């Protein structure tokens, strides 16, 4: 397949240039040479495949900054290869792989393993995240400088918070010298430790122990203070309540270099979706109230929340087909990230430009990735979308090795119909 292509009569939405217009995209040898209405009259590169994209939208390929993969250690749940196929099908061209594997990605050899395996087997770009602390134990920090040089693009303890404030301060101070981003899941070790869903009236009705908002807010406010103290780059991995968004705004007003993300689940689902103990909706952060969800959509629209992540977390039958309180947290999300996010566009709550910015351009900027733009000279990572195509997600459609999706049998409007990575077509719907 040639990686020189011309996409004609296509609506181009490129947040990196604040561009939304009908035109063409010309790709030569995997690089964008022109993109916009001015490109419509250019001659196609020699040997290029020309595709009429009338009625479609071209965007920079999505960048998913929080993807859990089982390899190494739990390949039965997900491998780098299977995750990349799922990503391509969902219009995701770059993923950041979390370090909480077995063994943990906390040394150079494991970073190199991820890069080599991705190079050999993945259809999309796979960027390794490295652990903040050795073994995710929260006690001894990893070699941030050496791991950065090896290719780690962010440092995170995955599902774990760094509970020792002194360790966190040392980590952030050290990371600042390498311009590295420290990303934390804000989850208090003790408060709500036995909780399994959002604390509220519904949890009481269901007889389930609750997770109060403060479980997220307290460690987040601590982290933001440490980020301000150390003047380092800090990213709150996933926030879920409006009080957290307000804390982010306040930290920024004080000059802290902080960004934040949110799971697509917390933007499009709420606690009522749990219904009669449906374990595919047992997630972390937990699904919050409808008022919380609406407030988080507003925080995304106004830019307080920087990015949207799938929080792709494959779980198998042994960990999900259990009583609700005993089931593992997590859901797959690579294949539904875009379609679920488009619900916010179709409802008029978030503009398409801001949505694509949060899904592609902004995460690429935060983590320093060669992605998130269609400007000339950029790598041709492109997702073609049919904004108005109705479709129904069935379990059989999922390419992930695990099938634990909260969107089973969900109706969507809009989907990725073709995904290009470096100009190569890696996924397409006929």
At 164 the three-state DSSP class reads coil
Taking the C-alpha atoms of residue 151 and residue 181, their distance in angstroms, rounded to an integer, is 13
Q: Which helix (H) or strand (E) holds 12?
A: strand 5-14
Residue matched to tokens 């400007």: 375
- What confidence tens digit (pLDDT) does each residue in 331-367 have? 999 999 999 999 999 999 999 999 999 999 999 999 9
- Its domain, for residue 52, covers 5-58+380-393+410-428
Q: Which among 135, 123, 133 has a CA at the least distance from the CA of 172? A: 133
At 98 the three-state DSSP class reads coil
- Would you say residue 402 lies in a domain? no
**Same domain, yes or no, for 195 and 258?**
yes
**Same domain, yes or no, for 105 and 23?**
no
pLDDT above 60 (res 1): no
- What is the residue-wise DSSP string for 199-227? SSHHHHHHT--EE-THHHHHHHHHHHHHH
pLDDT above 90 (res 44): no
**Same domain, yes or no, for 131 and 34?**
no
**Same domain, yes or no, for 41 and 167?**
no
Mean pLDDT of the chain: 96
Taking the C-alpha atoms of residue 369 and residue 355, their distance in angstroms, rounded to an integer, is 18
Q: Give the global pTM.
A: 0.96
CA 149 and chain centroid, separation: 23
- Would you say residue 401 lies in a domain? no
Question: Token pair of 117, please?
Answer: 């395996």
User: What value does the CA radius of gyration of the chain take, rounded to a whole number of Å?
Assistant: 21
- What confidence tens digit (pLDDT) does each residue in 76-96 have? 999 999 999 999 999 999 999
- What confidence tens digit (pLDDT) does each residue in 407-416 have? 999 999 999 9
**Same domain, yes or no, for 53 and 85?**
no
Taking the C-alpha atoms of residue 78 and residue 331, their distance in angstroms, rounded to an integer, is 12
- What confidence tens digit (pLDDT) does each residue in 227-252 have? 999 999 999 999 999 999 999 999 99
Residue matched to tokens 């409006």: 242
pLDDT above 90 (res 43): no
Question: Token pair of 172, please?
Answer: 């952030």
């Amino acid at each position: 397949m040639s990686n020189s292509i011309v996409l004609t009569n296509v609506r181009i939405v490129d947040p990196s240039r604040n561009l939304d217009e009908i035109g063409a995209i010309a790709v030569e040898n995997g690089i964008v040479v022109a993109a916009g209405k001015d490109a419509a009259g250019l001659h196609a590169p020699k040997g290029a495949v020309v595709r009429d994209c009338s009625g479609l939208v071209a965007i920079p390929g999505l960048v998913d900054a929080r993807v859990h993969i089982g390899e190494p250690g739990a390949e039965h749940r997900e491998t780098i290869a299977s995750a990349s196929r799922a990503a391509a099908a969902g219009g995701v061209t770059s993923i950041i792989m979390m370090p909480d594997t077995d063994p943990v990605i906390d040394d150079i050899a494991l970073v190199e393993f991820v890069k080599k395996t991705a190079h050999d087997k993945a259809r999309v770009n796979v960027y390794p995240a490295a652990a903040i602390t050795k073994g995710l134990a929260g006690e001894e920090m990893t070699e941030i400088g050496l791991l950065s040089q090896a290719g780690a693009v962010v440092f995170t303890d995955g599902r774990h918070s760094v509970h020792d404030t002194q360790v966190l301060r040392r980590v952030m101070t050290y990371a600042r010298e390498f311009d590295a981003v420290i990303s934390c899941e804000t989850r208090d070790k003790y408060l709500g430790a036995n909780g399994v869903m959002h604390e509220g009236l519904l949890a009481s009705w269901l007889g389930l122990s609750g997770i109060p908002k403060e479980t997220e807010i307290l460690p987040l406010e601590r982290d933001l203070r440490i980020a301000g103290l150390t003047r380092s780059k800090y990213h709150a991995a996933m926030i879920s309540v409006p009080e957290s968004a307000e804390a982010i705004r306040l930290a920024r007003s004080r000059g802290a270099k902080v960004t934040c993300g949110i799971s697509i689940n917390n933007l499009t689902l709420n606690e009522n979706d749990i219904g009669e103990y449906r374990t595919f909706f047992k997630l972390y952060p937990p699904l919050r109230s409808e008022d919380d969800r609406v407030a988080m959509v507003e925080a995304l629209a106004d830019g307080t929340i920087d990015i949207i992540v799938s929080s792709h977390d494959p779980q198998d039958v042994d960990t999900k087909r259990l009583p609700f309180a005993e089931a593992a947290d997590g859901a797959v999300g690579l294949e539904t990230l875009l379609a679920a996010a488009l619900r916010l566009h179709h409802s008029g709550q978030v503009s398409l430009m801001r949505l694509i910015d949060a899904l592609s351009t902004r995460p690429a900027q935060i983590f320093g990735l060669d992605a998130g733009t269609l400007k000339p000279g950029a790598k041709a990572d492109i997702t073609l979308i049919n904004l108005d195509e109705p479709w129904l997600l069935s379990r059989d459609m999922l390419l992930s090795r695990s099938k634990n999706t909260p969107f089973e049998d969900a109706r969507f409007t809009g989907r990725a119909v073709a995904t290009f990575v470096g100009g190569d077509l890696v996924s397409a719907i006929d």
